[in-house]
Amino acid sequence: MLIQPHGGQLVNRFVSVDQAKALVAKAASLPRVTLSAKQACDLEMIAIGAFSPLTGFVGQADFQSICKTMHLASGLVWPIPITLSVNDEVKASLKAGSDAAIYHADGTLLAVIHVTEIYPHDKKLEIPNVFRTEDPAHPGVKGVLDEGDWCVAGPIDVITVTPAKQPGEQFTEYRLPPAQTRAEFAKRNWNTVSAFQTRNPIHRAHEYLTKCALEMTDGLLIHPLVGETKPGDIPADVRMDCYKVLIEGYYNKARTLLTVMPAAMRYAGPREAVQHALTRQNYGVSHFIVGRDHAGVGSYYGTYDAQKIFDEFKPGEIAIEILRFENTFFCKKTGGMASDKTTNSKPEDRIFLAGTKVRDLLKAGQRPPAEFSRPEVADILIKWAQNAG
Catalytically active residues are 199-200
What amino acid is encoded at 368 in this protein?
Answer: P
Strands 99-103 and 256-258: unpaired
CA distance 374 to 272: 29
Exposure string for 245-276, b = 16+ CB within 10 A, e = fewer: bbbeeebeeeebbbbbbbbbbbbbbbbbbbbb
What torsion, rounded to 10 degrees, do the Cα atoms 154, 160, 166, 170 define?
A: 90
Q: Who contacts 196 (Cβ-Cβ below 8 Å, separation ≥6)?
A: 202, 206, 209, 210, 213, 220, 221, 222, 223, 289
CA distance 17 to 151: 29
* Distances, alpha carbon 81 to alpha carbons 36, 126, 204, 282, in Å: 16, 8, 34, 17
Please tell me what DSSP assigns to residue 318: S
Handedness of CA 277, 278, 279, 284 (dihedral sign): positive
Q: Of 349, 206, 208, 379, whose CA–CA distance to 368 is shortest? A: 379
Which H/E stretch holds residue 220? Answer: strand 219-224
- Contact, 78 vs 271, CB < 8 A? no
Which H/E stretch holds residue 126? Answer: helix 123-131
Which H/E stretch holds residue 277? Answer: helix 270-282
Q: Is 322 exposed, middle or buried (0-12, 13-18, 19+ CB in 10 A)?
A: middle
Three-state secondary-structure class, residue 299 = coil
Could you count the other beta carbons within 10 Å of the beta carbon of residue 346? 10
The dihedrals phi and psi of 303, each to the nearest 5 degrees, come to -55, -40
